[in-house]
Amino acid sequence: MATLNPPHSEPLVPTVPGPLPEASQPTEVTLPPLACDAHCHVFGPADQFPFSPTRTYTPPDSGIDAFERLQQRLGLSRAVFVQASCHGTDNSAMIDAIQRGDGRYAGVAMIDDSFTDADLAHLHANRVRGIRFNFVAHLGGAPDLDRFWRLVRRVEPFGWHVVLHFDAQDLPQYADLLDALPIPYVIDHMARVPAADGIEQEPFQRLLQLVADDERCWVKISCAERLTHGKVAPFDDVIPFAQALVAAAPERVLWGTDWPHPNMAVMPDEGALTNLLAAYVPDVGLRNRILVDNPQALYDFG
């Protein structure tokens, strides 16, 4: 397994802001029992779970205790922690958070070629069910594709999926890659499609086609704060995009907060993000499917 990140010898100075101290309570929607935040992170605490020495940003500590307070405020029960790049391939903070959940949490790891089969089995036993790759240009760009395929083949026997962080405009160039994947794949954050360009824009139409036509393709209707024009509330311009994706394949849609919102200049209110669900999915039964049944199917909660 990848070497654990070395301990920090002095307090770290964050280079990005942290989440709001307290979210508002949702007023437009009441979440059902077992509702899941299917995309969130834990950062640190750095004195216990050091950040990667090769990280591109240093966040303030946003650990499991703060996250569980947020869950209680929003009315959430389950969560999927996605390994953040600031921790690299040291998944220790994520695994600790999952263990604290007593079956209510699952994870998506970042791995490299140093991981043995025993390491992968350890992650699986600790409720990891996928791996993630970034393809976004300003976050470092596409991974080495030879390594990508090696790692996909390594996790296939575990029944895992792969989470892909794309810019929508880049989807066409990876059509062959997606078509060849032997496991399910999840497109993060509506492929970061810019809401200002409208629902008819070609990148979003390509995403819609993928979701509708490929039964291996899942999508997260998350990160309105990144997609909306101006990057601040209100997020009304994102609503038609989420609605279209839900209509295309409601059985393969997930929702998440993206807490604690890495690299956002203006932090969103998670209560406001949760309220968007009332507009994204007005039908209560369908909303419950997206919040409970769909994450259950992909992450096998106890």
Identify the three-state secondary structure at position 131.
strand
Strand partners, 187: 164, 219
Whether the link from the prior residue into 45 is cis, omega within 30° of 0, is: yes
β 217-220/253-254 pair status: parallel
| Known catalytic residue at 236 | no
Given the residues 258, 269, 283, 300, the one annotated as active site: 258
String of b and e for 242-273 (b: at least 16 CB within 10 Å)? bbbbbebbbebbbbbbbbbbbebeebbbbbbb
Residue 228 burial by CB count (10 A; 0-12/13-18/19+): exposed, middle or buried? buried
Classify residue 62 by its DSSP letter.
Answer: B
Rounded CA separation 196/193 (Å): 9
Q: How is 237-276 classified by DSSP, letter by letter?
A: GGHHHHHHHHHH-GGGEE----TT-TT-SSPPPHHHHHHH
Catalytic residue set: 258
